[in-house]
Amino acid sequence: MRTFVISIIIILMTAINMSSQDIEGVEVGTAMTENEVITKFGEPDYVEVHESCDGLDEHYYYNDSYLHFENNVFIGFCLRDPRFIALKKLTDTGIKVGDSLFELNDFKYGKPTFHQEGKYVLFEESDTPVYLLVEDEIIIGIDYHDPV
């Protein structure tokens, strides 16, 4: 019975993680038109659009950061400047480039774990990890890409 309860808890935590990666409160998996993206996040510096057999692949670039959409669905992000706040739905204030890694020591879903030199990971045990690039204990990048 105990193993069953622990398994259910792990499944629920994974489900929370899978549906909660967000930028400025917009969750990964959200469908958005180009106009909705611009209204929410502002005018991008440029947009890269590629068509493939899977459909439309779009990257909206803001400085050195980008938001990734596939067939108008938000599937990932690569943040390299403090313009956007990530994980607002999981923390009181969210996290952004420029924050101290130590600010996440009390993160209720588990503190970041060392992944490799200069890289830490949140939700390491899930299939939806968020990677933090770190230099001198300061977050210099936040990356997430939907595994599906």
Which region among 16-20, 50-54, 137-141 has the lowest average model confidence (pLDDT)? 16-20
Percent of the chain with pLDDT over 90: 63
- What pLDDT, in 10s, does the model give residues 39-94? 999 999 999 999 988 899 999 999 999 999 999 999 999 999 999 999 998 888 89
Long-range contacts of 90-95 (CB under 8 A, 24+ apart): 90/20, 90/22, 95/132, 95/139, 95/142
Residue 1's pLDDT band (cuts 50, 70, 90) = low
